Amino acid sequence: MLQTAIEMDKAAVILKLLGDKTRLSMLKILDDNDCCVCEFVEIFKASQPSISQHLRKLRDVGLVKEDRRGQWIFYSVNQNSEYYPFIGKILEQLPDQSYKLKELEKQGTRITCC
């Protein structure tokens, strides 16, 4: 094995977090783009608190970080996370989700909002 293996316990915690459709898609999207909460609300047709709570879980283990820009808070993948190499190998096996952001742009929802 090239890099140090992740501990079994920690791996299970991270995988459980990824074991939710919304959070998994979020991470896949964030791997390529910064994104704010209201965009996720639009993309997943979910409530704002629901999205916020998912993001909090990802942030609590350091997988994503937040960055306030004026009124908005943008989230991005934390590439310095000790888990980044681990989840990277998972995310790269998932289908590209960039069409979801393109849809927002088409709707004008991306620009209007953020």
Q: Find where tokens 């704010």 sit.
A: 36
How many positions of this chain bind DNA (CB under 7 A)?
28
With contacts defined by CB under 8 A, name the span among 22-30, 43-51, 58-66, 67-75 that binds a second copy.
22-30
Concatenating the DSSP letter of every residue in 11-74 gives HHHHHHHHSSHHHHHHHHHHTT--EEHHHHHHHHT--HHHHHHHHHHHHHTTSEEEEEETTEEE
CA distance 82 to 64: 12
How many positions of this chain bind a second copy (CB under 8 A)?
31
Q: Which is nearer to DNA, 2 or 20 (CB)?
A: 20
Q: Which two tokens stand for residue 8?
A: 């079994």
- 26 touches which of a second copy, DNA, none (CB within 5 to 8 A by kind)? none
Q: Which is nearer to DNA, 11 or 85 (CB)?
A: 11
- The reply to whether 72 sits near DNA by the rule CB under 7 A is yes
**Which residue among 6, 73, 113, 114 contacts a second copy (CB under 8 A)?**
6
